[in-house]
Amino acid sequence: MNADMSVISLLWEASMPVQIVMLLLLGASISSWSIIFTKRRLIRRTKDASDEFEAAFWSGGDLNTLYSSVTRAKGGSIGMAGIFESGFREFNRAMQSGESSTDKVVEECRRAMRVAQMREVDRLEHGLATLATIGSTSPYVGLFGTVWGIMGAFMGLANVQSATLAVVAPPIAEALIATAMGLFAAIPAVIAYNRYADKVVRIEYRYDGFTEEFSSILQRHARAKQEG
């Protein structure tokens, strides 16, 4: 308890620039953890939804039935289901319009799926740049507060006749707290950014694979309908 009170006392008695730096780092840390928890839920929800859809897709059921279930999904389709919905909607539109070129039909479907995939990946990547910024800049912001606090401590020594540890320790300690806060904000942000960026890349690879496989399936369906 005494240690906590001494830290609080040091923060309270720090100079105004150091306090501003600490408030900025506290805000950065809160923003970082908010993004971390939000991104964790989003990536897990997207992965689970894609796993569920992929199981239904490869079960061999009718694509029209699957499309109807996807479009009626509560809250809208996300992940791989959203890519499928965009591609199959474009396929139906092309078939109803009487498009004769199979390659053109598949190309239009692939383009629609690529657009949907870009939206999905952008949704997953949203906030990662903020984590990267917090992770890369927080240590330097904390170091600035430390340098400013130590500079003020040494300037204060000019007004005393004898520099003892009791005189020097408090201002230096309060300055070093800024560095600690900078690291506290930066380390989780860097770890989360690397972890989530890797997960997004892996999900994007799955989207790429599904887009190519589904394009092949649509190509076969288009040829079968045109030959029939």
Using the structure block, give the residue that is written with the tokens 């770890």. Answer: 191
Q: Give the Cα separation of 82 and 119 in Å (integer).
A: 10
Q: Indicate the number of domains in the chain.
A: 1
CA pair distance 183, 193, nearest whole angstrom: 15
Name the strand (E) or helix (H) holding 109: helix 102-125
CA 45 to mean position of chain CA atoms: 13
Cβ proximity of 184 and 24 under 8 Å? no
Widest CA span in the chain: 101
pLDDT digits (tens, 9 = 90+) for 50-93: 999 999 999 888 888 999 888 887 767 888 999 999 999 999 88
Residues of the chain with pLDDT under 70: 1-14, 75, 99-100, 156-170, 226-228
What pLDDT, in 10s, does the model give residues 152-173? 777 766 666 665 656 666 677 7
Domain span including residue 92: 2-227
Residues 6+ away with beta carbon under 8 Å from 115: 86
User: pTM of the entire structure?
Assistant: 0.81
